[in-house]
Chains A and B, each alone.
Chain A
Amino acid sequence: MNLLTITIFLPVAGLLALLFTKDGKQARWVGMFGALATFVLSTFVLFKSVNLEPSEYALTSDVAWITLGKFDVHYRIGVDGLSGILIFLTGLLAFAAALASWNIEKGTRGYWAMFLLLHTGIIGTFASLDLFLFYVFWEVMLLPMYFLIGVWGGPRRIYASIKFFLYTLFGSIFLLAGILVIYFAVTSDPAFRGNAFSIPDLTAYAQQARGAGGILANYGANAGLVANLVFWGMFVAFAVKVPVFPFHTWLPDAHVEAPTPISVILAGILLKLGGYGMLRINFPFFPGVMKDAAFWIGLLGVINIVYGALVAMAQTDFKKMVAYSSVSHMGFCLLGFAAMTPEGLNGAILQLFNHGTISGLLFLVVGVVYDRAHHRDLNRFGGLLWKMPVYGTIATIAMFASLGLPALSGFWGEFLAFVGSYKTTYYEGAKLITLIATLGLVFTAAYYLRAIQRVFLGKTNPAYESFPDATTRERVAMIALLVPTIFLGIYPKPLIAVYQPAVDAIRLLVG
């Protein structure tokens, strides 16, 4: 059986096993084992995704699923370097998040069921090479997340979960509409010979028909207009996930209410699906539109970076600050995408991966202090470093990684996105956009250093004198994410080499 299929559905197997558990304690072990197995399998998947040619996929599987005449949906999966590293990231964060879920007491079996189902959705989305399958997994992911926030979240969890659900639904409607429009167009297009849902077939066709309409050439005179509508519609679908300004306001609410491990997955992986979708579907399907859209995407990128950092600066809730820092940092992905230079794309993809580990780590950090203090008000801490040296040190490293300090992994994404974005000739105005984006560096340093000072430095708040340092379980979870942060900060080559063929492919298809 295909390794990738096993990786996708292993969490579902865990879910079935949960049916036979008698109590929360057993459920916890099943969940933990499921997460660990997913991590191990995702590592194997990563190793299978190296040394591929551009546009070549490993671990492919193609089984007809729904066939109604031309409506021919396949279970079509495969990985390249890009999806390989993101699936690995999913496994890694599943492991760390599972450790952080250890203390969930309420409805434990339900929690772990949702937790595992969520990962099937995520990995399935990354692995899909069929548009319809992609959409199905995309929606599969949505529901467990809704419940995880809505049931196990904080005081305003209902509001946050409904907002998250509706917002993502609002986005995915555009995705569905786009898929349908593409389906109707290519199935009536005599020049198209592939499968109307196959991502590789459609991508190849986009190369063949490089007019204004791209794969929607069949629309004739209106092709350009329709292509623009579909491009931007799909962009909105993915933009909600990233999240791109002004579609980001669900994120702070969802993060603040979500339990720690869910925040880890939300920031670490769910946001990456947006960027992944753009790289896999949005841009390669419409290279002609992308050329004109690049300026606007770059502009949105710089708004995300600077505006996100400014809003983060004003937060007093630790978790909300970290949430807005995600908005800011995901802007670098847009900046890099828009550039379409090798440096820019590399910066964007590195940022996808490294923001995954770093923001995951940051949410674990917030979780540790929240577990002890039961609040997240930055102004009410102080001096924790002296009482919790290990925790304080890890937290400080995480924040410096996030503000882009060299020798920690966050640096490379930002640096390459900057130089790649400045040098691009892909669209006009890139220089100015990049120059404005550099302002974000100062604001980012400001809010992180302020947070470090408020939480960790100064006199210890007497009420918190007795706080124990991070427990072994907390340490293992944090160190699991700290190791790639430091290693890839010093030597990013192993990661870069894995997905480089994918960058080649994107540049070939779009650039």
Chain B
Amino acid sequence: MTMAETLPSYVPWILFLPAIGAVVQQVLGPRLPRKGDFVVVGTMAASLVLSVAAMLAWAKLPPGHYFAASWKWFELAGGITFEMGMVVDGLTAALLCVVTIVATLVFLYSTAYMKGDPRYHRFFFWLSFFGVSMLVLTLADNLLMLFIGWELVGLCSYKLIGFWSEDLANAEAAKKAFITTRVGDVGMLIGIMILYKQCGTLHIGEIFHAVKGGAFGGQEGLLTLAGVGLFFGAVGKSAQFPLHVWLPDAMAGPTPVSALIHAATMVAAGVYLSARMFPLFTPDALGFIAWTGGITAFVGAIIAVSQTDIKKVLAYSTISQLGYMILGVGVGAPWAAMFHLCTHAMFKACLFLGSGSVIHAMHHAQDLKDMGGLRAKMPVTFWTFVISTLALAGIPATSGFMSKDAILLQALHEHRYVLFVLGFGVAFLTAFYMTRLVWLCFMGKPKNEEKFSHAHESPLVMIAPLVILAGFTPWIFWGHFPEKFFGTPAYFESHPDFEHVQAAYIAPGAGAPDHDHPWYFQLLAYTTGGLGLALGIGLFLSGRRDEKSRLLPGPLHELSVHKFHMDEMYLDGVVAAGNALADRSSWVDAKVVDGAVNVSGAVSLFIGDASGDADQMVVDGAVNLTADVAEGAGAMVATAQTGRIRNYVTAALGLTAVAVVIIVFVL
């Protein structure tokens, strides 16, 4: 059984400290030295300390226990209350630490990366506001608060993608991100509405409890719909196919933003939501989730192979890896999904910050055609990048190997063979495209001598975060991480089929029997990454291939280069249809609805003023004529006294009198 314990009093400060930091920096920032960036970095670091403290305190609790507290926010007639509440269980504790670690490092990194930007002050405000919003989302024990955080991280993402909106392309990217994710949010809202109606509460634990108690009484389909609805939020936020199109464009934002928001934390929120709400998902919903994840992983990896922009490669890689995580949820291993979320956050943040270091050194060039040979000039960036690449490629002894294989093993055990094979195909591609990226960026000869000659290793505040993040990649840190953290999340005891869930899905090593690893699984797991790596090195070692080289067979290459034609489909299909619908509605409004008004105006004028000139009947005509004469108050009064108004009033009053007489005396 799981049990709630009193929330330690410092936990809310995990949230409050960065919030205070954001406000102080926003208000006093311009007058403080360094525009107050240290306030933002400092409060986030304090939040990190408190998060670790909360994690340690939680770890001391007996298994299955968690911290929780809630506060009444407002009360409606009929005793309906809405609450804000926080919960610290394994899921929260792990995500809290990941978010605050990556955030602190990215904030620190940004002090150098964004140095000299005219809106440096603004940048730090939005960074810290993002941190606060993400922590709201993480700590929430109810769907209302989670939704609030969810929307606010979307706002911060919008503001930061479009941080350099002097260039309209960046503004476009920001807008695309917000609207695309909002499509997913509509699904999430629908899920929330269904759950609220059926369960009468938004508290996650109470929802599970109500579902177990028969809140959906036999309406399996509705429960599936609620689950898929919530998951739709994740499809938008976590850039799952087919709503993934915003994430590559989101690279328009400054690179630290890409690392923090669009790789490590916000985009993983969908995975967290899915893991948190896991007990709700019916088998049908899980099937939908698994396939969404699998397809996303594949599509992302295929596109990543032919990208020529260093950040775009990483962006498609992120889409692909998020697909893995979602696949993990879908095959019934939310713990493995969360595990991959945590390991991925570290090495992908490292890769993005590494790419930022390169971009910084190359004076904001980010196309692979300008790079090559940077290994010699930027050794720290190079080595941390390589280490993280190995983790992403799933090479044995790295964190990525462990978490990715946990997901794929579960797929096998759930008899999802197609997804299992697809998963290993993606693993192979991942190793391959990352090798390509490392090679084109760091190895070989410099392709742009002029830019290369100015390149230099980044300052300490930028490379220190790289080293720290790369330090999380060895498997040793993660040995007992999943069963310790994701063994029995809060409220899971309310799962309708809890014993089954606990035995089959959650916490290998925490009582449940460990899955056996068949020989072919082990063979695939240990060799796939290496094969991809070897093929990549083999192809590029000669130096004859560059970033434009054709690497995929026929149709796959076309799909990769054209990104599966998704952007065109949306622009020519959905966006065009939306605009056409808007234009048509506007036409109807002006011509039909308002036209009817003018016609009825004409008719009543006719009744009131039978002797009036025919050409003055339509309001437009009458008005335009009057307008020529009328100027100022005097004319207005004259209009009221002598003109049309009186006729209308006469007509209207006459009609009313008739109506009242009919009603009073006839009916």
Chain A contacts to B: CB under 8 angstroms: 106-107, 110, 147, 150-151, 156, 158-159, 161-163, 165-167, 169-170, 173-174, 176-177, 180-181, 184, 219, 222, 225-226, 229-230, 245-246, 248-250, 307, 310-311, 313-315, 342-343, 345-346, 383, 385-386, 400, 405-407, 411, 415-416, 418-419, 422-423, 434-435, 438-439, 441-443, 445-446, 449-450, 453, 457-459, 491-493, 496-497, 500-501, 503-504, 507
Contact = CB atoms under 8 A, between A and B. Distances in A.
B152 A407 contact: yes
A11 B381 CA distance: 71
A439 B185 CA distance: 11
A383 B164 CA distance: 11
Given A173-B655, A493-B73, A503-B76, 13 more contacts: A166-B648, A176-B656, A229-B663, A249-B593, A249-B597, A386-B166, A407-B148, A411-B151, A422-B193, A442-B183, A446-B179, A457-B162, A459-B166
Interface residues of B, number: 73
Contact of B76 (A161, A163, A307, A346): A346
Interface in B166-188: 166-168, 171-172, 175, 178-179, 182-183, 185-186
B523 interface: no
B175 A151 contact: no
Contacts of B596: 246
Nearest to B168: A458
**Residue among A106, A156, A422, A445 with the highest chain B CB neighbour number at 10 A:** A445
Nearest to B594: A249
Nearest to A385: B165
Contact of A158 (B165, B171, B190, B623): B623
B151 A147 contact: no
A313 B578 contact: yes
B76 A405 contact: no
26 contacts: A107-B633, A110-B633, A158-B623, A158-B627, A162-B619, A162-B645, A165-B645, A166-B601, A173-B655, A176-B656, A307-B585, A311-B582, A313-B578, A343-B76, A345-B77, A434-B193, A441-B185, A441-B189, A442-B183, A445-B179, A449-B175, A449-B178, A457-B166, A457-B171, A458-B167, A491-B73
A469 to B, nearest CB: 15
B196 interface: yes
Contact of B179 (A219, A385, A449, A458): A449
B186 A442 contact: yes
A422 B664 contact: no
A496 B74 contact: yes
Give 4 nearest A-B pairs by CB, closest first. A314-B586, A313-B582, A423-B197, A422-B193
A400 B155 contact: yes
A151 B632 contact: yes
Contact of A441 (B77, B186, B585, B593): B186
B649 interface: yes
Contacts of A346: 76-77
Given A226-B663, A419-B193, A342 B78 contact: yes
Contacts of A162: 619, 622-623, 626, 639, 644-645
Contacts of A229: 663
A442 B586 contact: no
A412 B639 CA distance: 45
B464 interface: no
Contacts of B614: none
Contacts of A170: 652
B3 interface: no
A36 to B, nearest CB: 26
Interface in B258-273: none
A342 B80 contact: yes
B132 to A, nearest CB: 10
B583 interface: yes
Interface in B585-621: 585-586, 589, 593-594, 596-597, 601, 619-620
A310 B585 contact: yes
Contacts of A176: 656
Interface in B329-352: none
A307 B471 CA distance: 54
Given A459-B166, A493-B74, A504-B77, A423 B148 contact: no
A158 B643 CA distance: 12
Contacts of A442: 179, 182-183, 186
Interface in B646-664: 648-649, 652-653, 655-656, 659-660, 663-664
A343 B167 CA distance: 43
B166 A500 contact: no
Interface in B70-126: 73-78, 80
A375 to B, nearest CB: 19
A457 B193 contact: no
Contacts of B639: 158, 162
B193 A503 contact: no
A500 B583 contact: no
B667 A151 contact: no
B585 to A, nearest CB: 4
Contacts of B593: 245-246, 248-249
Contacts of B186: 438-439, 441-442
Nearest to A489: B148
Contacts of B632: 106-107, 151
A119 B456 CA distance: 68
B225 to A, nearest CB: 10
Contacts of B582: 310-311, 313-314, 443
Nearest to A314: B586
Contact of A177 (B78, B152, B197, B656): B656
A507 B632 CA distance: 48
Contacts of A446: 179, 578
A445 B177 CA distance: 11
Interface string B148-165: 100110010010001001
A434 B148 CA distance: 20
A404 to B, nearest CB: 9
A263 to B, nearest CB: 19
Contacts of B166: 383, 386, 457-459
Nearest to B182: A445
A504 B77 CA distance: 6
Contact of A450 (B155, B175, B601, B648): B175
